[in-house]
Amino acid sequence: MSTLLAAALLSVGAAACGSEGAANVAQDPGAPLQIWVRKPPGSPTEKTARELAAKFTEKTGTQTTVTALFDDFETKLQQAAAQKQLPDIVINDTAQRGTLVKQGIVREINRNDIEGQDKLTPSAWNAATQADGKVYAVPFSAQSFALFIRKDWREKLGLAQPKTWDELRALGKAFTEKDPDGNGKPDTYGFVVPGSTKRGYAAWFFSSFLWSGGGDFLSESNGKYAPAIGSDASVAAVRWFQELFCVDKSVVPGAVTLETVPAHPMFEKGQGGIYFTGPYNMARFDKNLGKDKYEVVPAPPGPGGTAVSLAEGENVYLMAGSKNQAGQERFAEFAISVEGQTIGMAGDTDGNIVRLPVNSEVKLDDVRKDTRWQTFETIYKTGGRYVPSVPEWTPFLQNAAAAINTVIADCNADVKAQLTKLAGTFDEELRKQGVAG
């Protein structure tokens, strides 16, 4: 959802269902729970969400209705707020927390009121906590990202798994120029990149590379922030990214307007041979491409000397204005329990709504036999990094996506100038949010 739309609807949503008014809603502990999940309707993930809710109903007697929505999820949520018809529970991205809080449509929770909260990993709780220390969600799922590489292409060209950025870039160039599928046509590319500005995809995708390159969006000290996107390391990382498009020409066509859903087929249908994505795609690619044709490996360290992966996941948000706040909390408790997490993990299938468990008592290899999941768990534990805990991340994400999209769409764009301008925008936003250092 655009920042402009969020701002336009803020007063409507807050007035309709603001957290201040939530305490005044008459409570009915027998009221059914409406649960929204950001999953494609009819998908295996929707089925798993329904199984989770059904088991909760079986154990507690509280009736539930699950609604799966994907396209324009945040817009539809705002429409529900304006109509005073918010669901009771929303399972959505951790990065949306600040925006939901600003809009006044989620309620603050006391961690100690949630049974089992002490079993959750500290990093997961950090992702549910605002910069002021207040908690507005219950962690549900975590994830990291890795390189999916066409192993058959790589081996045909006699190349090794990339261990440096130079080797990664060279592999992408070889996939573009050396006919790795052997059909005699120049129809393959190195990288699949969802570089659209929608939902901030360009910045979301690039964040891991920015951090691995030694750059950053913001620097933090004692809860105060300053722009870091204009630093030399940040500029160098973005320039490296621009050169994949403009010098090597090793990125799939149309990447500057590409979102994640249409990006996935580009990898499995052989248009691009390197895709930095999450574990949720493994079952899909195993089926549509073949498990033997690709490999999952950690991204190599960048000039910064480290390999950093965006860490994210999903939270259970307890929406303001619910008639059954006790039921909201009971659902969150079940979702984070060993049983709830196990249902959500869905084994090795593509129905997983829990990628990596946030409950420390759940052992990954007890639920999943596919050892590639261990790669993601290791990446998460050793190099996972969540976005900065500013009050609202969305404006930073959207503005960064616009700047990054500009330099990959226009090869004449000056990276230094664009990021200097972006740093100024960041500084204004930090002051607006009251966290400028």
Kindly report the CATH number assigned to the domain that includes residue 102.
3.40.190.10
pLDDT at 17: 45
For the chain, give the percent of residues with pLDDT over 90: 91
Instruction: Verify that 252 and 337 share a domain, yes or no.
Output: no
C-alpha torsion sign, points 286, 291, 294, 296: positive
pLDDT digits (tens, 9 = 90+) for 211-248: 999 999 999 999 899 999 999 999 999 999 999 999 99
Q: Inform me whether the pLDDT recorded for 353 exceeds 90.
A: yes
What is the domain count for the chain? 2
Rounded to the nearest integer, the mean pLDDT of the chain is 93
What DSSP assignment string belongs to 83-96?
A: TT---SEEEEEGGG
92 and 163 assigned to the same domain: no
Mean pLDDT of 333-362: 96
Task: Select from 25, 6, 57 the least CA-distant residue to 330.
Answer: 57
Strands (DSSP E) along 230-323, which ranges? 272-277, 294-297, 309-310, 312-318
Q: DSSP letter string over 118-170?
A: GGB-HHHHHTTB-TTS-B--EEEEEE--EEEEEHHHHHHTT-PPP-SHHHHHH
Residues 321 and 356 in one domain: yes
Band of residue 305 on the pLDDT scale cut at 50, 70, 90: confident
- The maximal CA–CA distance of the chain, rounded, in angstroms, is 69
Host H or E run for residue 77 = helix 73-82
**Token pair in block for residue 266:** 């580009």
Instruction: Determine the structural domain holding residue 359 and report its residue range.
Output: 3-143+312-378
Q: Are residues 306 and 322 in the same domain?
A: no
Give me the phi and psi of 26, to 5 degrees please.
-60, 130
pLDDT in tens, 373-417: 999 999 999 999 999 989 999 999 999 999 999 999 999 999 999
pLDDT at 24: 79
pLDDT one-digit tens code per residue, 39-94: 999 999 999 999 999 999 999 999 999 999 998 999 999 999 999 999 999 999 99
CA atoms within 13 A on the CB side of 318: 28
385 domain residue, yes or no: no
pLDDT at 251 over 60: yes
| pTM, rounded to two decimals | 0.88
Q: Of the residues 378, 405, 425, which one is the last residue of a structural domain? A: 378
Sole residue written with tokens 């301008």:
421
